[in-house]
Amino acid sequence: MKKILVVEDEKNISRLICDTLNLGGYEYDVSYDGEEAIKKIMEKLYSLILLDIMLPKLDGFEVMKRVKDTKTPIIFLSAKNDISSIVKGLKDGGQDYITKPFEPLELLARIELRINNNSKENLVYKNIIVNVEERNVYKESEKVRTSTKRIRIIITIIKKYWNSTFKRYNFR
């Protein structure tokens, strides 16, 4: 399951991006401001974030700073086409920077490139996903709040006893 978060305040552009993602067979959520985006990113695991820079409440650069620890790949989509914005976005940790207007097929190609290059192996059993590297547990894409100790126990049990039951799955 590859789920993408679209963070875009312009409704028409947001619809275009969502239509493009539908063509590519991706699931997605949409946020229209920076604060809402941060909340969603902290609650769910996304394969990729498409992030506008000029957003209400918090701009895209600030969103990037606050969610950098999630290690979710970010592609900036912005009308800001000056070199300083592009360099800032890439230096701050963005994997790509696409200026508006953009071609939908190019967007799909760049999404596929980023998702495949950032693939991480996870352990999956039915609707439960354990991201070993990040030490997180997800049930139906929703992050389960639990202690680090419990996550270590879950991973130990999976590796020792149920490894044959679990399959390895590229989630991102």
Are residues 95 and 140 both part of a single domain?
no
Least confident of 8-17, 19-28, 128-137: 128-137
Q: Which domain holds residue 125?
A: 121-170
132, 70, 40, 13: CA torsion to nearest 10? -120
Do 82 and 151 lie in one domain? The reply is no
Whether residue 170 has pLDDT greater than 90: no
Q: Give SS3 for 138.
A: strand
Does residue 55 sit in the same domain as residue 112? yes
Q: Of 87, 85, 63, 90, whose CA–CA distance to 75 is shortest? A: 90
pTM: 0.69
Please determine, for residue 20, whether its predicted confidence score (pLDDT) is greater than 50.
Answer: yes
- For tokens 């209400």, the residue is 56
Could you tell me the end-to-end alpha-carbon distance of the chain, in angstroms, rounded to an integer? 8
100-127 per-position pLDDT tens digit: 999 998 999 899 888 765 555 566 666 7
